[in-house]
Amino acid sequence: MSSSKPSVYITRRVPESGPALLAPSCQVEQWNKDDPVPREELLKRVQGKDALFCLLTEKIDEEVLKAAGPQLKVVGTMSVGYDHIDLTACKKYNVKVGFTPGVLTNAVAELTMALLLTTSRRLKEAMAAVANGTWGTWKPMWLCGPGLDGATVGIVGLGRIGFTIAQCLRPFGVAKILYSDKFENPHASEVGATYVSKDELLANSDFVLATCALTEETKGMFNKDLFKKMKKSAIFINTSRGGVVNQEDLYEALKSGEIGAAGLDVTTPEPLPTDSPLLTLDNCVVLPHIASATDKTRSAMSELTAKNILAALNGTEMPTEVKN
């Protein structure tokens, strides 16, 4: 059936707010399942589409863009990260890229706080003790952790999310917030964050938070050299991308006591295999990439993705375009 409406392929079951916005003016086809669309299916379904609504689990490269055809105008990812999209190829094929910054900032900051508290207050061990009967009596020396009060927190990447985490940290009584980044954030003083070199941050922080994007420069950045530069008691938190960490080095650092603990919302690969050595450690908390998983946030992400797509199809300014 031919239609004059532009066609959109959605690669997953997503909150209805996005598809509902697209439906009146677009012909929408969807992989309406919770598991990712198989690559072959994606390559087949994207053919002839004007827009692609995708997630961080789909690698959008030249093969996908070629399979789509020259009418493809826009790829909208329902994520703030876009390391799964080949921007050079998008530029070459004149395809705009939309992403979803802003709407997930608070949710990701909140989950980062949850990881900070879980690791520093040893909640994984505490919950296990309740479940496995090793609780015993109240003991003054048992399950003590460093806590946030009076701590120095180092944020690697003071963008939207890092900045909001800094705001969340202040009522917990942290003594200092340090940050390192490619450039100084002109608003850093509003949250009392001080710009320092990465080495200075690593040497002085009780908590080191990775909130930077995954790029060629940050890939594998948290490796044994960096863990060595941290305090032996340091707690490392990652809510950016698993790819910024060398996971074998992290395991060694945690196992040998080079650092104190880690809280990870992201890993490589995802899902992390259940036989991963990281999962054998009491001082490592791993979550299944749920930082933006609140109903409200996921709905807003779906809606913003649709708005980006509609704007690109209508030739108007996209609310949040990746400037490529």
Contact footprint for ligand DGY (CB under 6 A): 56, 79-81, 104, 291-292
* Sheet with strand 96-98: strands edge to edge: 27-30, 7-10, 51-54, 74-77, 96-98
Question: Which residue number, 230 or 304, has a Cβ lying nearer to ligand DGY?
Answer: 304
Give the SS3 label for residue 52: strand
ω into 277 cis (within 30 of 0):
no
Of 292 and 308, CB closest to ligand DGY:
292
The secondary structure element, H or E, covering residue 7 is strand 7-10
* Ramachandran bin of 173, using left for φ above 0, alpha for ψ from -120 to 50, beta for the remaining angles: left
> Least CB distance from residue 32 to ligand DGY, whole Å?
20
Q: If you compute the radius of gyration of the chain from its CA atoms, what whole number of angstroms results?
A: 22
Smallest separation, CB 213 to ligand DGY (Å): 9
Instruction: Give strand pairing partners of 190.
Output: none
Q: How far is the CB of 298 from ligand DGY (least distance, A)?
A: 8
> Is 199 within 8 Å of 144 (Cβ atoms)?
no
Closest distance to ligand DGY from the beta carbon of 14 (Å):
12
Which stretches within 133-169 are classed as H helix? Answer: 160-169
Least Å distance, CB 101 to ligand DGY, is 9
Nearer to ligand DGY, 81 or 277 (CB): 81
- Distance, in Å, from the CA atom of 107 to the CA atom of 263, rounded to the nearest integer, reads 16
Q: Which is nearer to ligand DGY, 264 or 291 (CB)?
A: 291
CA–CA separation, 174 and 152 (whole Å): 6
Alpha carbon of 321 to those of 44, 98, 301, 311: distances in Å?
26, 4, 14, 10
Identify which of residues 40 and 295 has a Cβ nearer to ligand DGY in the complex: 295
Residues that are catalytic: 289
d(C-alpha 218, C-alpha 244), whole Å: 6
Residue 81 CB, nearest approach to ligand DGY (Å) = 3
Q: By the 8 A CB rule, do 77 and 55 touch? A: yes
Residue 152 or 292 with smaller CB distance to ligand DGY: 292
